[in-house]
Amino acid sequence: MKDLKLAGLRLPIYIVVFVVLLIAIFMGVLPKNMIGAFLFLVVVGELLNIIGNHCPIIKTYFGGGPIVVIFGGAALVYFKLLPKEVIQMVDSFMKDSIKITLEAGGKMKIATSGFLDFYIAALITGSILGMNRKLLIKAAIRYLPTIIAGVVVSLGLVALIGPLVGITTGQAVAYVGIPIMGGGMGAGAVPISQVFEKALGIPSDEILSKLVPAVALGNAMAIVAGGLLNKLGKVKPSLTGNGQMMARGTFEIPDDSAYNPTVKDYTAGIIMATMFFSLGSIIAFLLKKVGVNIHPYAWMILSVALAKVLNIIPAEVERACSAWYKFVAGAWTAALMLGIGMSYTNLGQIIKAFTPQYVILCAVVVIGAIIGTGFMGRLLGFNFVEAAITAGLCMANMGGTGDVAVLTASNRMELMPFAQISSRLGGAFIIFLASVLVPIFFG
């Protein structure tokens, strides 16, 4: 217990920080700006995260920390356990809104934030640029079509089954299929909700409350399915390579040695991430003029992937972007998840969403992912079980934590590089797909 650390702090120091935070909140003197919001989200987020990661059932089947952080944050708001000022402060910090108020004397004060966009920009840029270029190209040739097959079959099945259980095709695809196949929360459901908001004009918090239950249920079902596929491989040895992707030959993963990033590397990573986000915004703005209304995230993803494939960014800059992404993901994911829970997740709507029909559709999506990737993978030279686990279940789970859980359940941890491709490129593909499909279904 004495070696336990939260947010990099040993427990005694963390307790002091937590007490100071509580005193500031209940005295009403917590700074109502980035300082107060950041302190609150990091400190409380890390606490909820470590609780979730030590709860056996939640850790094993529901993604552990992220789920507890998200629902814990939503509960803090739903049950009104925090002062209204703290909730408003977090809202302002998380969302890309602009608030204009008049101060004493008639002076205008403009408050703007957007921590969510800042995080996602780092995530997309660093995760794609940080991949091995040769592996990325190989993935596009064989592995990406396998992922796409899983997406097509899963969305197709849920579109067919939806009306049979009383849910429209559009709602089944948009609110169940897409979020489950979207790569988790931070890189999946959250940016997808932003895409929906831009296309439909519906507040993203209302949309996210419909997406979160699907992500949680899909993750749990994917983990269970991983164990079942492992058993299938034992019953039918011809369907598995026992951890080897290729049925014949090899598909080697290049070894990228780690390096120690400097402050200048982090600076370069910030610049490139925000630049690519701005580039995506420019492209989206220009194309909207000619009637193409696709979210900037999608154009950002394409821009980063194209830059990577064409090899136009120096290797040291790519490493810097990857280092910045790893820092942001490692240091601030719990804070982001808490902000998502408080600002984007309506617990009341989530409770209403858990119906038998909803559970059935979630199962249909996961089964469709297995069928599509298993058979397409086999056609392209992969083993059925390994293709279904990596290209299928690692698309349907909750990103990084889900990847670990699925691969552990299936006893195939050596497939992590392929799982990461699914979580990174597959998740990015779903965001782009959502940008295209949402206007079609609801436009």
Give the residue, 50 or 409, on which the prediction is more confident. 50
Is residue 104 a part of any domain in this protein?
A: no
How many structural domains compose the chain?
2
Residues 51, 157, single domain; the answer is: no
Is residue 320 a part of any domain in this protein?
A: yes
CA distance 205 to 166: 24
Query: 228, 374 in Cβ contact below 8 A?
Result: no
- Structural domain of 79: 5-93+112-117
pLDDT digits (tens, 9 = 90+) for 421-438: 787 677 778 888 888 877
Q: What is the pLDDT confidence band of residue 102, given thresholds at 50, 70 and 90?
A: very low
Residues 125, 260, single domain; the answer is: yes
Residues 64, 190, single domain; the answer is: no
Residues 131, 78, single domain; the answer is: no
Residues 150, 203, single domain; the answer is: yes
Lowest mean pLDDT among 136-145, 211-220, 262-271: 136-145
pLDDT reading at 63 higher than 90: no
Residues 196, 60, single domain; the answer is: no
Lowest mean pLDDT among 161-165, 292-296, 310-314: 292-296
Is residue 205 a part of any domain in this protein?
A: yes
Residues 302, 422, single domain; the answer is: yes
Q: What is the pTM of this model?
A: 0.71
Residues 259, 354, single domain; the answer is: yes
- What is the pLDDT, as a whole number, of residue 313? 95
Q: What is the mean pLDDT of the chain?
A: 84
Is residue 107 a part of any domain in this protein?
A: no
Is residue 103 a part of any domain in this protein?
A: no
Lowest mean pLDDT among 26-30, 185-189, 274-278, 397-401: 185-189
Q: Which of 104-118, 205-219, 269-283 has the highest mean pLDDT?
A: 269-283
Residues 391, 280, single domain; the answer is: yes
Mean pLDDT of 168-184: 87
Is residue 98 a part of any domain in this protein?
A: no
Residues 136, 274, single domain; the answer is: yes
Is residue 435 a part of any domain in this protein?
A: yes
Residues 37, 181, single domain; the answer is: no
Is residue 102 a part of any domain in this protein?
A: no
Q: What is the pLDDT confidence band of residue 109, given thresholds at 50, 70 and 90?
A: very low
- What is the pLDDT, as a whole number, of residue 108? 45
Residues 422, 364, single domain; the answer is: yes
